[in-house]
Structure 1
């Protein structure tokens, strides 16, 4: 009994199992994950879950009965220690061996560690898993001040949660603005203003040198310029690293993730990789290849691999898109805007709802929308149809009908 073995029970692994069955695959499917929970969605962990607006059961992607109904063997709380490609077999840490006809690595990513003294002290947290969120939720009951290292999406989402609870928040960032790798300066300025209005403080250009300690616990953050930031709790959110070691040790090429082709197949025709761990070609990337950390990429990649296994091969070319709740504001991003040489506003930040259209060499490459879901949906359609022409002047003109322009171009073709 071989069939498909999926390493990883996150969004990508779950979606692959479900899509394989939906596409008619009837051979065994085994999902292996090191967390003990049923597969669950992560986005709410840094928002609604911490605020008590949802619970662990509601995070489950499907109830336990789904896996039995779909004949999906779910092995939680287990870890793959080794891949034996020539034998088409994985070896678990328990020593058990499982054969596969096709192996799919959906190993995801892990939080990047903070390489300074004191980073492992009690009172220092990261946020990626349900267990992380549970630990944070429990710790927040007695906290009056929080220091967040890193002004990325997770750090800012957590800052909004803390500010909403009346906790003093300082975000410490080595760059000169928030979301430096993710959004345009125009959007970063607007989002920063919403956080400041909620009471969040920022320290830019601050490089962390140590976590301060008293009585065996973290009590703040020290920076290289001599500044200290007192805190009862420290959250570290400085990015992630792809979990590529299994692939590397099996002799598969890795760089910024597991190297795959446009169909998400590795150099081994019996092994694919999807989700956060996969470094794949993309027509939307300026560099030609990209590794995307998003639910959308996980779902689209899983569907692509499921279709290939079910005899309908195709390329993973979906337009990347992302979203993040920044307090009361919803930030949505379509495309990969970095780098861009021109950014134009559609609407006004003063209204609390606007978009930034980003162009590179005259072509639209990304759209960032704050509380403008209509702009976001149209942007995805514009970017999907890479032959559609939108000028910066049209993008900036709020009287110009973006939706009609998409429909008109499709009628012409």
Structure 2
């Protein structure tokens, strides 16, 4: 009897790293990787960073070189959409009518941009950023327009804004909340990024939504705001969040909440299906149950644990959430997790006004998250502070002369 393959559904970073981890961990059986895009798996951060800016070549985004999959005996099926998963028969159904029986399955279906359903949203010149062709289209627009409207002040919106301003384009950001990045950073640090963009000539319209886009012929020409204000624009980039692609998991009967519910081993409610990346709502040994973050680091690191689980191992995913950004002359790394109710104060070391500092989110004197802005090589000690759970001396914490491993409250 032919051995049934391990199957990976999702052709992004998590899917590619899952295939890599399975081979590295000794799995030498048949392996199928199915992705709905025509390009081999690539990383998404370059799409709003180096590639969009024109600093990096297109090939730099790809996870593996073109021959890697053949060399590692991975059956890579590109441009193929999975339309059904049947856990009862261990069968994956493709849009071309083909089927694959699996022994174990890794779901890594990622997310899709949240789309606006307002008048004019389907006009030419309205862009979303998720895939390589999206980045190509936005890059072309940035090179040809004078005025850009960015809807949404999240990471994607701000990184696109920085790229456009660097190219000399006039940019207006419309953000429904009172500050950009209010959710992931809280008001204290969100202000740093608002000030960064206004200092670079960006017009910020906050606390207001978009009522409709205006259209001239077939193309977008601007927007009418919920407060009646009007904006003119030659192109629009919408970045109002992402929606995890849970349709397959839900239809297959897996337990789903904000994502596919998995334990710390990334095991779903089905013993033969694991999940990784944007869709995984995981129990975390440090942070608790039901943690789902849409960060590049999860797609990069979770697949090694998912592969271990597929092979019968007992590895758990305990990496802290991590993300980074580069905007103008600001480089930033963030470790941990900030929610509106998990911290009670923010402490700083360094020069916030000069944008060269480290910030710490504290709860009852314990560090729950840390962000270094234009300060480098402090990631490991920041993570150690979070993991320790021990109270810190805030005077020492704020003093750059005191090493971070010596700031504990003794």
Classify the TM-score, shorter chain. over 0.9
**Could you tell me which residue of structure 2 aligns to residue 309 of structure 1?**
310
Picking from 349, 353, 359, the partner of 1:346 is 349
In 2, the alpha carbon distance for the partners of 1:375 and 1:335 equals 14
Deviation per residue, 1:256-297 (Å, 9 max, x gap):
111111211111101111100111112444x73221111211
Maintained 8 Å contact 1:335/1:367: yes
Q: Structure 1 342/220 Cα, relative in aligned 2: closer, same or farther at 3 Å?
A: same
In 1, the alpha carbon distance for the partners of 2:338 and 2:295 equals 15
SS in 1 for 2:353: helix
Q: Structure 1 187/284 Cα, relative in aligned 2: closer, same or farther at 3 Å?
A: farther
SS in 1 for 2:313: coil
Q: 2:378 matched to 1:382? A: no
Normalising to structure 2: TM-score of the pair? 0.95
Deviation per residue, 1:109-139 (Å, 9 max, x gap):
0000112111111110001110101111222
Maintained 8 Å contact 1:359/1:392: no
Deviation per residue, 1:9-49 (Å, 9 max, x gap):
11111111101101111111111000011111110111211
In 2, the alpha carbon distance for the partners of 1:392 and 1:85 equals 52
**Could you tell me which residue of structure 2 aligns to residue 368 of structure 1?**
371
Deviation per residue, 1:44-94 (Å, 9 max, x gap):
111211222122222111112111111111111101010111000100011
SS in 1 for 2:371: strand
Picking from 179, 193, 196, the partner of 2:195 is 193
SS in 1 for 2:150: strand
Q: How does 1:12-411 map to 2 (within 5 A)?
A: 12-285=14-287, 288-338=289-339, 339-383=342-386, 385-404=387-406
Larger CA deviation: 395-404 vs 163-172: 395-404
Shift, 1:302, TM fit: 0.4
**Could you tell me which residue of structure 1 aligns to residue 13 of structure 2?**
11
Shift, 1:391, TM fit: 3.2
SS in 1 for 2:377: helix
SS in 1 for 2:47: helix
In 1, the alpha carbon distance for the partners of 2:26 and 2:391 equals 39
In 2, the alpha carbon distance for the partners of 1:7 and 1:105 equals 5
SS in 1 for 2:141: helix
SS in 1 for 2:51: coil
SS in 2 for 1:21: helix
Larger CA deviation: 198-207 vs 348-357: 348-357
Maintained 8 Å contact 1:307/1:313: yes
SS in 2 for 1:142: coil
Q: Structure 1 184/394 Cα, relative in aligned 2: closer, same or farther at 3 Å?
A: farther
Shift, 1:206, TM fit: 1.2
SS in 1 for 2:52: coil
In 1, the alpha carbon distance for the partners of 2:393 and 2:208 equals 39
SS in 1 for 2:317: coil
Flag structure 1 segments of 5+ consecutive residues without an equivalent. Answer: none
Matched length: 406
Flag structure 2 segments of 5+ consecutive residues without an equivalent. Answer: none
Deviation per residue, 1:178-200 (Å, 9 max, x gap):
10111132222222222112111
Shift, 1:388, TM fit: 4.2
Maintained 8 Å contact 2:173/2:205: yes
SS in 2 for 1:288: strand
SS in 1 for 2:160: helix
In 1, the alpha carbon distance for the partners of 2:246 and 2:391 equals 39
Shift, 1:226, TM fit: 0.4
